[in-house]
Amino acid sequence: MTTSAEPFVLNIGPQHPSTHGVFRLRVVMDGEIIRDLDMIVGYLHRSMEKLAEERTYTQNIPFTDRADYLAAMTGNLGLAIAVERMTGVEAPDRAEYLRVIFAELQRIASHAMANGTLISDAGAWQTPLLYMFREREKILDLFEMTCGARLTTNYMRIGGVSFEPPAEFWPALQELMDEMPERTDEYASLLLDNEIFLARTRNVGIITPEDAINGSLSGPALRGSGVPWDLRKAEPYCVYDRFDFDVPVGTVGDVYDRFMVRMEEVKQSVRIIKQAVEQIPPGPHKNDIPLALRPEPGEIYSRVESPRGEIGFYLVSDGTPAPYRFHLRSPALINLTLLRELGVGSSLPDAVVTLGSIDIVLGEIDR
């Protein structure tokens, strides 16, 4: 309606079905149109970076579980790699493969969650979400088999991984990988032929590649805008340079493209895992490293590609057992940089869907 009513303030969150956690949007609405938008985070702030200064590098690995609790494996991996680069410790070959397998499994699980909640935000009453949870459940089962935890895995260690997967792991993984292409096709047929879903996601929340790069976006949000940037390719860590996989990029940069990029990344992850299972060498799953891990004074910024983007660890050592400064570059927080520009001027449902497509995890935003 063009007649402007009185603008009013709407508090979306901290408890709201579509904020995916304790996230608050303070929105000035003019009818259905958002005139101003302010995001308020920090409800889950635990001052992880301060706590980390009191703990050894190994003790900090569980904190990374709690940061991005939907992708604990990649958080673990990022810290482990950062410390390894800092200290020169190396992980055995088998451990690198296991890391790849679990990181990619975690990517599938996280993307399933992200896309499922995105469709829920678009108004489908949880059906796609629960379908995608089916795969996620199986992946979490695999995690539980291996390390005993489903969500906060604490699996990656400095110099390897904590456990060798049990014997039942491999057939179960094979079974899951065999049915994944069928599942992704099923989602594609369910959702991409759905006019309503297309109408809700096409040309909504468009991010141009220029904005995406300048706004420090990373991960599917960046690739959805058409920028072919993936740290697994650009700066291969673990053994990613030994696998053959592609990087999907979107064309328009809208919600739909980000959704599709995630769907395609799931397929690519399946490809990687299949290759890794074929190539994985026998051997130890972790190297012996000194208990007293004292990196020399210095600093490092090391990053890996988490499902949400570039999760970086900036570690400063002063030679003591604990990091002098521990900074986690949170991709979910930084991807929200453009939220205000995207939201202002759009309608409330579009803003909700756009927020869903950015895929935030509050544990990581607030740390």
φ/ψ of 309, rounded to 5, equals 140, -150
Nearest distance in Å: CB 215, another protein: 4
Instruction: Tell me: does residue 67 bind another protein (CB under 8 A).
Output: no
φ/ψ of 10, rounded to 5, equals -120, 125
Instruction: Tell me: does residue 132 bind another protein (CB under 8 A).
Output: no
d(C-alpha 150, C-alpha 69), whole Å: 10
Residue in 153, 136, 137, 66 with CA at minimum distance from that of residue 362: 66
Question: What Rg, from alpha-carbon coordinates, does the chain have?
Answer: 21
Q: Which two tokens stand for residue 309?
A: 């983007």
Rule CB under 8 A: which of 143-172 touch another protein?
Answer: 144-145, 157, 159-160, 162-164, 166-168, 172
Residue in 294, 73, 85 with CA at minimum distance from that of residue 163: 73
CB nearer another protein, residue 75 or residue 209? 209
Which one of the spans 66-74, 103-111, 121-129, 177-185 is the region binding another protein (CB under 8 A)? 121-129
Contact with another protein (CB under 8 A) among 189, 214, 279, 283: 214
Nearest distance in Å: CB 110, another protein: 18
Instruction: Tell me: does residue 186 bind another protein (CB under 8 A).
Output: no
CB nearer another protein, residue 280 or residue 337? 337
Contact with another protein (CB under 8 A) among 18, 152, 306, 354: 18
Quick check: 72 and 106 in contact, CB under 8 A? yes
Q: What is the 3-state secondary structure (H, E, C) of 62-110?
A: HHHHHHCCCCHHHHHHHHHHHHHHHHCCCCCHHHHHHHHHHHHHHHHHH
d(C-alpha 27, C-alpha 16), whole Å: 13
CB nearer another protein, residue 65 or residue 264? 264
CB nearer another protein, residue 30 or residue 277? 30
Nearest distance in Å: CB 20, another protein: 10
Contact with another protein (CB under 8 A) among 68, 257, 305, 364: 257
Which one of the spans 43-51, 71-79, 99-107, 272-280 is the region binding another protein (CB under 8 A)? 43-51
Contact with another protein (CB under 8 A) among 14, 26, 36, 58: 58
Quick check: 102 and 73 in contact, CB under 8 A? yes
d(C-alpha 98, C-alpha 89), whole Å: 17
Please enumerate in sequence order all residues whose Cβ is within 8 A of that of 221, keeping only pairs 6 or more positions apart, or say none: 207, 212, 258, 309, 335, 357, 358, 359
CB nearer another protein, residue 58 or residue 280? 58
Contact with another protein (CB under 8 A) among 68, 350, 359, 364: 350
Contact with another protein (CB under 8 A) among 149, 177, 206, 347: 347
Contact with another protein (CB under 8 A) among 85, 92, 242, 277: 85
Rule CB under 8 A: which of 283-342 touch another protein?
Answer: 286-293, 296-303, 310, 312, 314, 316, 318, 320-322, 324-325, 327, 329, 333-334, 336-338
Nearest distance in Å: CB 294, another protein: 9
Contact with another protein (CB under 8 A) among 30, 36, 137, 179: 137
d(C-alpha 208, C-alpha 323), whole Å: 38
Instruction: Tell me: does residue 189 bind another protein (CB under 8 A).
Output: no
With contacts defined by CB under 8 A, how many residues of the chain interact with another protein? 136
Quick check: 328 and 363 in contact, CB under 8 A? no
CB nearer another protein, residue 126 or residue 279? 126
DSSP 346: S
Taking every pair of Cα atoms in the chain, the longest distance, rounded to a whole number of angstroms, is 71
Tokens 């050592």 — which residue?
317
Angle at 211 between CA 205 and CA 215, to 5 degrees: 105
Q: How many CB atoms lie within 10 A of CB 196?
A: 11
Which one of the spans 70-78, 140-148, 179-187, 273-281 is the region binding another protein (CB under 8 A)? 140-148
CB nearer another protein, residue 263 or residue 276? 263
